[in-house]
Amino acid sequence: MTRDSATHSKALKQFFSLALVAGMTTFTALAMGVRLLLAQTAAGEAHFTFPDTPAAKQLQSWLAAFESGDRATIQAFAAKSMPEGTGSDFADQTIQMRDQFGGLDFQKVEESTDVRFVAIAQTRLGGERLRMTVEVDAAEPHRITSIFLQPASRPENTPPPPEMTEAEIETARTQPSFHQFSTWLVAFNSGDKTGYQQFLANNFPTRASSLNRDMDLRERTGGFEFRKLEQGSATQVSGLVQERDSDQFGRFVLKVDAVEPHHILSLSLMAIPRPAAFPIPRLTESEAIAGVKAQIEKNVAADRFAGTVLVAKNGKVLLSSAYGFADREKKIPNTLDTRFRIGSMNKMFTAVAVLQLVEAGKIKVTEPLGKYITGYPNQEVATKVTIHQLLTHTGGTGDIFGPDFNKHRKELRTLNDYVALYGKRGPQFEPGSQWRYSNYGMLLLGVVIERVTGQSYYDYVQEHIYKPAGMTLTGSLPEDQPVAGRSIGYMRSQAAGSVPNTDTLPYRGTAAGGGYSTVGDLLNFASALMNHKLLNAASTELLITGKVEAGPGGKYAYGFEDHRDKDGNGWVGHGGGAPGMNGDLKIYPKSGYVVAVLSNLDPPAAQRVSEFLDTRLPSGK
C-alpha cells in the first residue's frame, strides 16, 4: 500500500531520485516516461485564468507563496493550508525549487473539480513542461491534502531538438556552461562532502543549502555518467546522464551567468525512459544471473539494498539469496525466511479472492458496490462504482493516506474503520472515465469479500489463497503482535541516516496492502496461480490481462499490472513500496521466469533488482 495517491507500483518503480536536484522533494516527482520540452513559453500562452473552484484557489495561493520566494510567506501559507502535509524544511525546499525553476507559467487546464485541479505549467528556466495536481478537502476551509508535480509530455507536433553535428558538439564542449556542468559532475560524483560544499560555495552559491540532499542523492545513485550532449551554448547546456548503479537515464539542463566567473544559475535533472539509442542487450540466462549478483553485491556494499532475491524458471530456482540485516541494532541477518512488508503487493491477493467469488457466483464484476455493501454512506459511490472499476482503479474512490490517516493511524484497525472514516466521500471523477490509483478502492473490495463470505478478509485469504498456494509465512497480523522473522523497515533520514519506519506503519495490513511475505511464498503464489490452483484458466487470464492504460508501457488488469507486448513477452505482477519497504513480483508467462525481490529499505531498492533482470533475461521463444 503506497503512501502516495499518485504513486502506483508502475510509477513507484520508476521513481527517480534525480528529481531531488530539481528541488521537487516537497512534492511527488514521478518519472512517467516522457520526454520534456526544452523550449521557452510559446506566444499566446502567457495569459492563464484559474477556474473559480476551491482546488484552483488553493493552487493560486500556493503559487503566490512560491513566487514570493519569501520564507515567512511560505511558512504562513503552509500553516494555514497544509498544516499536516509539510516537513520542517518545506519553506527551504520551496525556495530552492523557485530558484531552480525561475518560476512557473501555467498554460492549460487538464482537469478541474471542486476538490481536484490539474494543469500544465512550464518552468521559466529550462522551459520544462510539468503537470501540477492539487487535491483539497471537500469541506471548508478546503485544506490541501496533496500537491505534486510530474513531467508532462511535449505538445503534439513539437519536433525534438535537432541532433548536434560533431563540430557543434566540439564547440559546445568549450563553452562556460559545459565546463561548469563537467566540474559539477566531478565534484558531485566524488562523494566528498567537504569538497562538494566548497564547489557549491564557489560556483553554485544558491544551492549551498541543499548540500545534505545532494549528498543523499549521491548515495542513492552512486553518481552519474555523462552519456550525451543534446544542446549547448555559452549560457545553457542540456544532455543525458545515467545513474552509475542503475539503468535509469535523466535529462539535465544547466544555466550559467553570462559574465565571469559564470556562476551556475540553475540545474535541473529529470528522469526519462532509456533512449532507444542506448539499448540493453538481452543476455543468456547464466549471464543475467551473474550480472544481477554482481549488481546486488555492489548495492549492498553501498547500503542501497538489503533483503532477499529469488529467480526461478518453470519452478526451478536459479537464484535464491539473502543480504543485509533484518534488525540492524541486534545484528540479525536477513534470511530466505525473513518476512518483509510488501506494500501494495497485497492487491494481487485481493483480486484473486474477488475472482474466486466470481467463479462461485457470489460476485459479478458488473454490479455496483452498493449491491454488496448495503447502506454504504455515499450513494453516488454505492450506485455508480462497479466491482470492475474498483479492480482497475477507475472508480474514482481516492486514496487512504493523508492528514486523516495520520490523525487516526492507530485507530484504523478493521476494514470497516476505514469505511467509517472515508465512506462519505463522493467519487473524484465520473466512475469509469479515467484511471487513477486508488488504495481505498482496493480496501473496499476487502469489505465486499467480508460481506459476501461472512468471514474476515484475513481469514478468507488465509484459507483460500495462502493455504492452497503453500504460503506458510505470509500474513497481515497487527504491528503490535510479535511475528517471528518479521524484519524492521529502515527509511533514510538526512539528519540521522537509516531509521526504523515503525512510526509510519498502519495498525495492520489491509486489502490494499501492508502485509508481509517471503520470496519463497511469492514464488509459491505465482506457481499456484499460473498452474490454476487458485482460479481456473479463464479466470486467471481475466485476472492478468491488461484492461486500462496505466502509464507508459503497461496496462492495469485486476490487481495486476500487465507489461506484455503483442507477442506475449514481458511480465505480469505488482510491486509495492513505502518508507522502509519495497517489493516486486514479476511473472513471465511466456518464458516461464518468476522474479521476486523484497527489501526492508526505501524504494526503489527491490525494484532496481527486478528491473535489471527484466531488461536482460532471455525472452520467451
Q: What is the DSSP string of 237-274?
A: EEEEEEETTSS-EEEEEEEE-SSTT--EEEEEEEEEPP
pLDDT for position 153: 64
Facing residues of 282 across strands?
A: none
pLDDT for position 461: 98
Gap between the Cα atoms of 29 and 52, Å rounded: 27
pLDDT for position 5: 33
Q: Residue written as cell 473559480?
A: 52
| Nearest alpha-carbon partner for 390 in 328, 432, 420, 421 | 432
Task: Tell me the helices (H) and strands (E) count for the chain, helix number first.
Answer: 20, 22
Pick the CATH number of 34-151 from 2.60.40.290, 3.40.605.10, 3.10.450.50, 3.40.50.300: 3.10.450.50
Residue 69 CB contacts under 8 Å (≥ 6 apart), including other chains: 95, 98, 99
| Residues of the chain below pLDDT 50 | 1-46
pLDDT for position 44: 32
Gap between the Cα atoms of 344 and 110, Å rounded: 28
Gap between the Cα atoms of 596 and 474, Å rounded: 14
Domain coordinates in residue numbering, the chain = 34-151, 166-237+249-272, 317-565
Gap between the Cα atoms of 17 and 51, Å rounded: 33
Query: The pTM is what?
Result: 0.81
- 3-class DSSP state for residue 596? strand
Asked if the domains at 34-151 and 317-565 fall in one CATH topology, the answer is no
Q: Residue written as cell 506475449?
A: 568
CA atoms within 13 A on the CB side of 42: 10
DSSP 8-state secondary structure symbol assigned to residue 102:
-
Gap between the Cα atoms of 74 and 76, Å rounded: 5
pLDDT for position 154: 60
Backbone angles phi, psi at 184, to 5 degrees: -60, -45
pLDDT for position 39: 24
604 upstream amide cis, omega within 30 of 0: yes
H-type helices in 134-279, by residue range? 166-172, 176-190, 193-203, 211-221
Kindly report the CATH number that applies to the domain delimited by 317-565.
3.40.710.10
